[in-house]
Amino acid sequence: MKVLIVGAGRVGTSVAENLVSEQNDITVIDTDARNLQGLQERYDLRGMHGDGTQVAVLEAAGAADTDLFIACAASDAVNMVACRIARQHFNVPRRIARIRAADVAEYPALMGEDGFCIDALISPERSVTTYLHSLIEFPEALQVVEFAEGRISVITARVSSGSAMANRPVEALREAWPDVTACVIDVLRGGRPLQAGIQTVIEPDDEVVLLVDTRHARRAVRQLREAEKTVHRVMIAGGGNIGLRLARQLAEESYSVRLIERDPARCEYLAVNLPGNVLVLQGNGTDEDLLRRENIGDMDTWLALTSDDEDNIMSSLLAKRLGARKVIALINRPAYGELMQGSHIDIAVSPAQATMSELLRHVRRGDVAAVHRLRQGVAEAVEAVAHGDRKTSHVVGRRVGEVRLPKGASIGALARGEDIIIPDGDTIIESGDHVIVFVPSRQQMARVEKLFQVSPSFL
């Protein structure tokens, strides 16, 4: 697939490095030649120095035969105009824009053919905020993502020594929770996947990736680790867009929220634009005296959400040492995140991975309803809709055991109408089923996509 990306900033770089690894033909446009040089040195892609809103630049970049156009420059206006040009002048079939403004999606006319011709919006701030909120609501989990409009959840949790599943094989799940619709789709030990089978024994400190009917999620996870106290008191370091969005959402849900921001002018803005029950503090999250004065030891959750990885790591380590029950840090550099998660930092959140999960739904071929990255972006879980019949589809009318999935991939659940089904090898997939597929490596996704593409004879 030929992909044209406008913007080589943090979001554009993340999009490029993720898509180029899947053997796409990538071209990136940016006004900063240094950004492009760094990308070209690291990845097999083409850089084009110029303004993505100029017709001549887009033409030179190959817009005329582009399959997917992604505008993720820092400016909303640039992204919107670039999408309109890509559609009206070059007839690019799919166009995605990164938009910061929260209200654009509320005006469909702005996105349509008479507006800026945008097929889909991505908002990193919204994606990260939603993901952080799910971690606060589900304190036992390391990761929570949803499929089938929230009816199916994929949850990663670390097994505690006193749990019902510790030192028992995967097949004991049915015995441990007979009334719970769930299955284990992956087990990680020491950060490495085991490609677990039903005989695999789950050990304390293993990370178990569980697919579960959302209604049963809490009961299922509490078989893996003891229930944690409900979160009520939250302290956030960083009053940027993500900190502002999260603080507002938590305050509206009656959480007790304290927000630390370094910049005095930004503090004034936050104080005016946040509900009165959010306490805004001017200071630095690495200030030990400030954290002690604000009773960090009484906090259920600490979140470090500044734009500086090092500050987020150091403030989180300090908060943990001073008694915060759970600490979550926003970390952009993948190497930092892998090093820190599971140490004194409970969860390292990658903004890039949260954004990619939102974007991939529009990138994957076939009828894809949702895609989420798992295991620091190594694996994926995808919700694909089965269409056609046995003649026109590779999956419809076939038993799950007959579907030719890549090695290690598995079908974890089917959403059929109102029913959530954990299939066995004899379960037959029907047209219209939403099929949740776990794929252990991104490089295998192309084969999974082909399985859910119907033949040209399907009408």
Instruction: Say whether both 30 and 82 belong to one domain.
Output: yes
Task: Give the residue carrying structure tokens 């070059």.
Answer: 90
Within a domain: residue 191? yes
Within a domain: residue 129? no
Within a domain: residue 358? no
Weakest-pLDDT range from 127-131, 139-143, 171-175: 171-175
Instruction: Say whether both 68 and 146 belong to one domain.
Output: no
Angle, to 10 degrees, between the axis of helix 241-252 and the axis of helix 264-273?
30
Q: What is the pLDDT of residue 454?
A: 77
Average of per-residue pLDDT values in the chain: 89
Query: Of 414, 337, 327, which is closest to residue 377 (Cα–Cα)?
Result: 337
Instruction: Say whether both 333 and 379 belong to one domain.
Output: no
Within a domain: residue 94? yes
Calpha distance 288→449 (Å, rounded): 50
Q: Coil, strand or helix: which one is 319?
A: helix
- pLDDT at residue 227 above 80? no
Instruction: Say whether both 239 and 343 belong to one domain.
Output: yes
How many separate helices (H) and strands (E) can be counted in the chain? 15, 24
Query: What value does the mean pLDDT take over residues 165-189?
Result: 84
Q: What is the pLDDT of residue 458?
A: 47
Query: Of 277, 315, 268, which is closest to residue 296 (Cα–Cα)?
Result: 315
Within a domain: residue 375? yes
Instruction: Say whether both 294 and 378 belong to one domain.
Output: no
At position 274, the amino acid (one-letter code) is L
Last residue of a domain, one of 300, 323, 353: 353
Q: What is the pLDDT of residue 459?
A: 45
Last residue of a domain, one of 221, 243, 260: 221
Q: How do residues 33-88 score in pLDDT, each as one tens digit?
A: 998 998 999 889 999 999 999 999 999 999 999 999 999 999 999 999 999 999 99
Q: How do residues 441-456 score in pLDDT, each as one tens digit?
A: 888 888 888 888 876 5
Query: What value does the mean pLDDT take over residues 326-349?
Result: 80
Instruction: Say whether both 47 and 13 belong to one domain.
Output: yes
Instruction: Say whether both 331 and 375 belong to one domain.
Output: no
- pLDDT at residue 230 above 90? no
- pLDDT at residue 242 above 60? yes
Query: Of 226, 232, 221, which is closest to residue 258 (Cα–Cα)?
Result: 232
pLDDT band at 261 (very low <50, low <70, confident <90, very high): very high
CATH number of the structural domain spanning residue 193: 3.30.70.1450
Domain that holds residue 384: 364-451
pLDDT band at 342 (very low <50, low <70, confident <90, very high): low
Output the pTM of the full model.
0.84
Phi-psi region of 117 (alpha: psi -120 to 50; beta: other; left: phi over 0): left
- pLDDT at residue 341 above 70? no
Query: Of 302, 266, 265, 271, which is closest to residue 286 (Cα–Cα)?
Result: 302
- pLDDT at residue 177 above 90? no
Q: Coil, strand or helix: which one is 63?
A: helix
Within a domain: residue 258? yes
Instruction: Say whether both 345 and 372 belong to one domain.
Output: no
Instruction: Say whether both 268 and 246 belong to one domain.
Output: yes
Within a domain: residue 128? no
Q: What is the pLDDT of residue 450?
A: 87
Instruction: Say whether both 78 and 166 belong to one domain.
Output: no
Instruction: Say whether both 15 and 65 belong to one domain.
Output: yes
Calpha distance 447→440 (Å, rounded): 12
Q: How do residues 143-173 score in pLDDT, each as one tens digit?
A: 899 999 899 999 998 888 888 788 888 888 7
Q: What is the pLDDT of residue 429?
A: 96
- pLDDT at residue 314 above 50? yes
Instruction: Say whether both 28 and 108 belong to one domain.
Output: yes
Q: What is the pLDDT of residue 7?
A: 94
Q: How do residues 98-109 score in pLDDT, each as one tens digit?
A: 988 777 767 778
Query: What value does the mean pLDDT take over residues 179-200?
Result: 85
The CA-based angle 98-353-274, given to 5 degrees, is 65
Query: What value does the mean pLDDT take over residues 218-247?
Result: 88
CATH number of the structural domain spanning residue 32: 3.40.50.720
Last residue of a domain, one of 197, 221, 245: 221
The answer to whether 301 and 324 have CB atoms below 8 angstroms apart is yes
- Count structural domains, the chain: 4
Task: Tell me the backbone φ, ψ of residue 381, rounded to 5 degrees.
Answer: -120, 130
Q: How do residues 209-220 score in pLDDT, each as one tens digit?
A: 999 999 988 888
pLDDT band at 93 (very low <50, low <70, confident <90, very high): very high
Calpha distance 64→235 (Å, rounded): 49
C-alpha distances out from residue 172 to 202, 293, 358, Å: 10, 48, 34
Burial of 234-271, coded b for 16+ CB within 10 Å and e otherwise, reads bbbbbbbbbbbbbbbbbbeeebbbbbbbbeeebbeebb
Within a domain: residue 456? no
- pLDDT at residue 253 above 70? yes
pLDDT band at 306 (very low <50, low <70, confident <90, very high): very high
